[in-house]
Chain A
């Protein structure tokens, strides 16, 4: 079946550094990918919608200069958390929408811990 690969699954970094998370659709093309964050015991909150070849659309309250999204190909989107701070520690999850069927598949998530 369709698989979305997210890497790294866990990352620990120092405050002030930048962290890049990759989201790949392995056996389908995804014109649209989505980035979510999930705090403990809470539901997924959409951060931004990433469209291949164009700028991402950010949800209200999400700083686009802090959370840089690049969707350079039909199978890869990246989220870069710039100048990370402890409050950015969270579980970041991507999803990819199959261009042909519209079905949405999720990555395994990336747990970011900022010290």
Chain B
């Protein structure tokens, strides 16, 4: 079993819809949870950075962490074509290497 599971998609939604991206994990020691966005042929860009459980909101993006269920989510409101990218969840126990999900390819249809 992988430490982090993420549906690779692809996921296609119409412009303006709410997008829900999710990851599950097995290692209860993970404390820091991140979502990265990666455009084609580019390095990943940090979107959200959350410590422990709870919600964090930044503009159209909301990250949720449920440590009891070992489940994290990223919601994108009012989705735009420019949101089309691969979204990677990542997590770590602390200031060390990240463990990544496989990434979900998202396409927003105009």
Contacts and interface: CB of A to CB of B under 8 A. Distances in A.
The 4 A-B pairs at the shortest CB distance, nearest first, are namely A109-B43, A106-B43, A102-B95, A108-B43
- By size class, the interface of chain B is 20 to 34
Interface secondary structure of A, over-half rule: strand
Contacts of A97: 95
A93 B41 contact: no
Given A34-B98, A43-B103, A103 B44 contact: no
Interface of B: 32, 34, 36, 41-46, 49, 88, 92, 94-98, 100-103
Interface of A: 6, 32, 34, 42-44, 46, 49, 91, 93, 95, 97, 102-109, 111
A108 B42 contact: yes
5 contacts: A32-B96, A43-B101, A49-B97, A93-B43, A105-B46
A106 B95 contact: no
Contact of B97 (A46, A91, A93, A105): A46
A79 B45 CA distance: 21
Interface centre among B43, B100, B101, B103 (most CB of A within 10 A): B43
Nearest to B88: A43
Contacts of A104: 34, 46, 92, 98
B36 A106 contact: yes
